[in-house]
């Protein structure tokens, strides 16, 4: 009978990516592992939290519960705005539909960069290494993992007992370990995201009341769909979705080639396009269109366009040759049409960390831990999480069909129980 040592050698755990999934993995490991049981290192290619694209995250109940289980909900969402309701309008038909009520204690709208900074600030013992661009992941001796890359063009190599890949939709880990399953699907529409910030002296009537409320809105217009997320403190996140055919029409109207990249457009053109789209789906008497005058810099990272994409969820999101597991968008990139991307990644991370801690408690040495990870961590994690990924990704795809692609033909919303066909690869 083997007897575990009183002071086992610490595990060396690497985390690829310092977005919501990566930071939550580190926080949950700190919460569940005994002090000193692991050295946790996050490798992130970005210089800081502001390099992460995006305006807001909707931190839904499943993520709030995961944060609560590790004792970090209020600290992580301290700057978030509680959300109480999601309202639905069809401007073209002049209809309002039943709202969905939220528990504001467990539903928060957060500014992405603030949320990531706040998560990183809660880390106690983990190390975040910025500007680390990983280019190679390979199996090392006895199920270990070797990671290679560059820091400001200087090569580096790191070895881990376990690597958790949280490196997003363009995951290096997915491309290298699962090249046949690394296809990213273009789902037929685009979305311009904007963070609009107002003050008492400058905001149009009704803007601050809307921005500081707990009322999210989805509005179907004639050719676009607007999503609105109040972030509090006079800040409002707008996302305006439109399919590729509409994009071609709008770009042509503005004298642009169909392949002209948003980031290369003049600031005045970006604003003009945003006004065109906002006018189509503004149900606030022109208030949201007027609020676009509050944007000081149309070239800011706070204003950007995404072509909506997703991936098929990996049926086996772990490597048999090395102790590498993929979570979050690396395993299952999901469209934002049901607002579950960050929440799903956060829930993944907490579930995985709990299994890692349980496996570590029965392993006296790193070698013993590496030997049991497949059976004790990867397989039960996949069995529990894969059905959740499939369900939510299919829901997001169905919502895209009705709410963002076939906008002009929609009478109702594809939210809730869906019976329409799923988008295929």
Q: What is the mean pLDDT of residues 34-51?
A: 94
pLDDT of 7: 54
Distance CA 416, CA 409 (A): 19
All structural domains of the chain with their residue ranges: 11-52+117-184+311-407, 186-309
Give the model confidence (pLDDT) of 26-35 as tens digits.
999 999 999 9
pTM above 0.85, yes or no: yes
- In this prediction, residues 113-137 reach a mean pLDDT of 97
Tokens linked to 299: 């070239």
Over residues 61-108, the pLDDT tens digits come to 999 999 999 999 999 999 999 999 999 999 988 999 989 999 999 999
- Kindly tell me if the per-residue pLDDT of 415 is higher than 90: no
Instruction: Give the count of beta carbons closer than 10 Å to the beta carbon of residue 345.
Output: 29
Query: Which fold does the domain 11-52+117-184+311-407 belong to in CATH?
Result: FAD/NAD(P)-binding domain (3.50.50)
Query: Could you give the CA distance from residue 333 to residue 169 in angstroms, rounded to a whole number?
Result: 5
HEC readout, 144-169? CEEEEEEECCEEEEEEECEEEECCCC
133 pLDDT exceeds 70? Answer: yes
Predicted confidence band of residue 1 (pLDDT cuts 50, 70, 90): very low
Q: Quick one: pLDDT at residue 50?
A: 79
What integer pLDDT is reported at residue 336 of this predicted model? 93
Between the alpha carbon of residue 19 and those of residues 65, 88, 111, 176, 188, the distances in Å are 18, 30, 13, 20, 26
pLDDT bracket for residue 245 (50, 70, 90) = very high
CB count within 10 Å of CB 276 equals: 19
Q: What is the pLDDT of residue 227?
A: 95
| Six token digits for residue 253 | 């109207």
123 exposed, middle or buried (CB, 10 Å; 0-12, 13-18, 19+)? middle
- Residue 8: pLDDT band with limits 50, 70, 90: confident
**Which residues lie across from 215 on neighbouring strands?**
85
In contact, 235 and 211? CB cutoff 8 Å:
yes
Q: Which two tokens stand for residue 249?
A: 């029409």
| Mean pLDDT across 375-379 | 98
User: In sequence order, what E strands does 244-342 have?
Assistant: 303-310, 324-326
In this prediction, residue 418 carries a pLDDT of 35
What percentage of the chain exceeds 70 in pLDDT? 96
């Amino acid at each position: 009978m083997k007897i575990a040592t009183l002071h086992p050698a610490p595990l060396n755990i690497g985390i690829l990516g310092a977005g919501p999934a990566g930071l939550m993995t580190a926080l949950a490991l700190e919460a569940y592992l005994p002090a000193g049981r692991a050295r946790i290192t996050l490798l992130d290619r970005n210089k800081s939290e502001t390099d992460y694209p995006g305006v807001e995250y909707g931190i839904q109940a499943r993520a709030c519960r995961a944060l609560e289980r590790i004792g970090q909900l209020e600290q992580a969402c301290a700057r978030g705005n509680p959300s109480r309701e999601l309202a639905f309008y069809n401007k073209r038909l002049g209809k309002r539909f039943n709202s969905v009520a939220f528990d504001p204690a467990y539903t928060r709208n957060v500014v992405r960069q603030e949320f990531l900074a706040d998560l990183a600030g809660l880390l106690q013992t983990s190390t975040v290494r910025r500007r680390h661009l990983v280019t190679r992941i390979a199996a090392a001796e006895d199920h270990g993992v070797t990671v290679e890359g560059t820091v400001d063009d200087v090569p580096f190599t790191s070895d881990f007992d376990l690597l958790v890949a949280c490196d997003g939709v363009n995951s290096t880990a997915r491309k290298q370990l699962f090249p046949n399953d690394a296809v990213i699907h273009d789902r037929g529409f685009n979305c311009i995201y904007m963070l609009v910030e107002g003050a008492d002296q400058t905001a149009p009537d009704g803007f601050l009341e809307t921005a500081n409320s707990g009322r999210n809105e989805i509005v179907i217009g004639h050719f676009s769909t607007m999503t609105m997320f109040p972030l509090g403190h006079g800040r409002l996140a707008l996302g305006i979705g439109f399919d590729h055919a509409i994009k071609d029409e709008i770009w042509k109207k503005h004298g642009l080639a169909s392949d002209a990249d948003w980031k290369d457009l003049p600031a005045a053109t970006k604003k003009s396009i945003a006004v065109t789209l906002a006018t189509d789906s503004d149900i606030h008497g022109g208030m949201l269109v007027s609020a676009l005058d509050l944007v000081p810099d149309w070239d800011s990272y706070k204003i950007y366009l995404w072509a909506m994409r997703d991936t098929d969820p990996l049926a086996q999101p772990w490597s048999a040759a090395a102790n590498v597991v993929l979570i979050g968008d690396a395993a299952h990139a999901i469209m934002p049409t049901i607002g579950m991307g960050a929440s799903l990644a956060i829930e993944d991370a907490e579930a995985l960390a709990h299994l890692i801690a349980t496996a570590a408690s029965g392993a006296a040495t790193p070698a013993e831990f590496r030997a049991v990870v497949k059976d004790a961590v990867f397989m039960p994690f996949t069995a529990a999480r894969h059905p959740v990924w499939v369900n939510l990704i299919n829901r997001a795809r169905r919502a895209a069909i009705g709410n963002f692609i076939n906008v002009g033909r929609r009478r109702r919303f594809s939210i809730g129980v869906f019976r329409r066909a799923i988008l295929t690869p």
